[in-house]
Amino acid sequence: MELSFDLLINAVIAGILLGGFYTAVTLGVSISFGILDIVNIAHPAFIILGSYIAYIVNTRLGIDPIAVSILMLPVFYLLGAGVYQVYYESFERRGQESLRGLSFFFGLLFVTEVMLILVFGVDYRYVEAPYIGPSWRLGVMDFPLRMLVPCIAALTLFAALELYLSYTFIGRAIKAVAQDQLALRLMGASPVRIKRIAFGISIATASVAGALLIIIQPVEPSVGREYIGRVFAICVLGGLGSLPGTVIGAMLLGILESFTATFYGPSWAPAVAFGVLLLTLAFRPAGLLGR
């Protein structure tokens, strides 16, 4: 009995740590899809891009992957702002975002993946850092640092974003974009500019998420696909546009996946997100903390 209790509590811990990491992966989509209404299905591709940048700098110069990702934030921000500009000019302004805008992001996802395959091949790549390997033990509880560090980093990222969105002018304007663009314009802010900034921020989070991903697991270009279902499941489960909801959704999915992996085998874990997504859409489309 004690053994199964150990297993249970460690499955919960592993799930929470995993959920923390999922938070980092989903925050960007929470902003783009939840707040800006831009269905950026290419987000996982940007995350993988972040992983590969962390990998290159880490293996060449030996810099910590998380530090690399923070240094890369401005680059990803500009990349995101650029992508939004193209998206706005080509689709949003013409009112074609549903069919062609989606296809555009799908094309981006695909092109990024194939380019990474052409450059790096399909071998798994990994990084080195002092916290990959050891783990803390508290009684029967096991905290692998490889998971704990990304979890803490992700929650820090969440706190920073939530504070930014709640207490700065631009942050509040980003929230306002989702609610009433006309009112925002009357307050003297350009919705397009605000959305560009917000989308830039959403892509910037992919830099951090990518570094965390390659800390947690070895990465190859098509790994990103597994995260599409997860990211949107979490986003919908938490409630669109709610960052705290994203954290809760991520933790729930993390725990569910961890239980599935522990009791049924890890090969079934990818199916969990899809089940969660479909059930949420069928029974509570607004999500847990939906507006």
Partner 1 sequence: MRTRVFLLLLIAVAIVVFFATRWVNNDYVFFAGYTVLQFVVLSTAWNILGGYTGYVNFGSAAFFALGAYATVFLHKLYPLPIPLLIVVGGAVSGIVGLGMGYLTLRLRGAFFAIATLALAVVLQTLIVNWDYVGGSRGAYIIRPNEIALIGPYIQYLFLVMLALVVIALTVARGIERSRLGYGFATIRDDELAAEASGVPTLRLKLIATTLSGALMGMAGAPFPYYIGYLQPSSAFGLEYAVNSIAMPMIGGTTSWVGPLIGAILLGSLQQIATVTISSAVNLLIVGLLLVAFVIIAPNGIVGLVQGWIRRTK
Give me the residues that bind partner 1 (CB under 8 A), please: 33, 39, 41, 86, 90-91, 94, 96, 98-100, 102-104, 106-108, 110-111, 113-115, 117-118, 222, 225-226, 228-229, 232-233, 236, 267-268, 270-271, 273-275, 277-278, 281-282, 285
Distance between CA atoms of residues 38 and 15, nearest Å: 29
Contact indicator for 246, 4 with CB cutoff of 8 Å: no
CB-nearer residue toward partner 1: 173 or 177: 177
Q: How far is the CB of 19 from partner 1 (least distance, A)?
A: 18
CB-nearer residue toward partner 1: 42 or 72: 42
CA dist 268 → 4, 91, 100 (Å): 21, 38, 33
Distance between CA atoms of residues 140 and 226, nearest Å: 31
CB-nearer residue toward partner 1: 77 or 87: 87
CB-nearer residue toward partner 1: 10 or 181: 181
CB-nearer residue toward partner 1: 100 or 175: 100
Which residues share a beta bridge with 247? none
Q: How far is the CB of 246 from partner 1 (least distance, A)?
A: 15
Residue 204 identity: A
Q: How far is the CB of 288 from partner 1 (least distance, A)?
A: 16
Please count the other Cβ atoms lying within 10 Å of the Cβ belonging to residue 41: 19
Q: How far is the CB of 89 from partner 1 (least distance, A)?
A: 8
CB-nearer residue toward partner 1: 90 or 181: 90
CB-nearer residue toward partner 1: 102 or 132: 102
Q: How far is the CB of 172 from partner 1 (least distance, A)?
A: 25
Please count the other Cβ atoms lying within 10 Å of the Cβ belonging to residue 69: 29
Q: How far is the CB of 291 from partner 1 (least distance, A)?
A: 14
Q: How far is the CB of 71 from partner 1 (least distance, A)?
A: 29
